[in-house]
Structure 1
Amino acid sequence: MKYVILIHSNPQPWGHPTGDYLAAYQELPEDVRKRLDADFEQVMSEMQQNGELISGEALAEPGAARLYRWHDGSPLASDGPYSEAKEHLAGFFLIDVASQARAEEIVAKFAGPGETVELRPTMWPGGDDQ
């Protein structure tokens, strides 16, 4: 089963790893930050060793985006960010796991202070879940 893990965040200034730029993360005691970082590194290593990690990318700041919307019969380009949202898409990981339970076990390690993490199944063209 394939899932995408979407990291929604708004670090100031924009940077990666996003936690390093979020006040909620920075305010944690150092031992808690170290444990969270170690948990994340452990799950990344597990996914690589198990062949579950397909890909992942950090995204540039939302202001660097170009938006394309349909307007008067053709695409119209404009500068980002895409919306006036509190959080923006900061990055993603595509994983291939044996079950939803495994996907949820993994994504729990991605959710950190000041961030929202979305787990979404992928679909084949035509709507069949992957």
Structure 2
Amino acid sequence: MKYVILIHSNPQPWGHPTSDFIAEQQTQSPEQREQMNAEFEAVLTQMQESGELVHGEALADPNTSRLFRWKAGEAVVTDGPYSEFKEHLAGFFLIDVADQARAEEITAKFSGPGETVELRPAMWPGGDDQ
């Protein structure tokens, strides 16, 4: 089953890894941050070796986005970000796992202080859950 892990964050200033720019994580000791980074890298390595990690990408500053909408019969392009919320999509990982329990086990390891992580099943063309 394929799932997308969406990383929501609001580092100020924007940057990657987001943990380096999030106030809640900056208050942690260097040792705590180093341990969190090592644990995250270990999870990614394990997922690569098992074939569960299909793809992942960090996304650029939401202020660099362009929005494409349809208005009065024509395409209209404006500057982003789309969301007026404080949190923005910072990146995503596409995973292919045996079941939802495994997806949730992995996703729980992707969040740190000041971040929100969303797990969403991917869908095949036609709208059926995978």
TM-score by length of 1: 0.96
SS in 2 for 1:98: coil
SS in 1 for 2:110: coil
SS in 1 for 2:119: strand
Q: How many residues align?
A: 130
Q: Please give the alpha-carbon distance, in whole angstroms, between the structure 2 residues aligned to 1:39 and 1:75.
A: 45
Query: Which amino acid counterpart does residue 111 of structure 1 have in structure 2?
Result: S
Corresponding residue of 2:101: 101
Q: Percent identity?
A: 68
Corresponding position: 1:43 with 2:25: no
Q: CA RMSD in A?
A: 0.9
Which 5+ residue runs of structure 2 have no aligned equivalent?
Answer: none
Q: Deviation digits for residues 61-88 of structure 1, max 9, x if unmatched? A: 0010000111101221000111211100
Corresponding residue of 1:22: 22
TM-score by length of 2: 0.96
Which 5+ residue runs of structure 1 have no aligned equivalent?
Answer: none
Q: Mean Cα displacement is larger for which, 26-35 or 94-103?
A: 26-35
Q: Please give the alpha-carbon distance, in whole angstroms, between the structure 2 residues aligned to 1:60 and 1:30.
A: 25
Query: Which amino acid counterpart does residue 65 of structure 1 have in structure 2?
Result: S
Query: Which amino acid counterpart does residue 114 of structure 2 have in structure 1?
Result: G
Runs of 4 or more off by more than 3 Å in structure 1? none
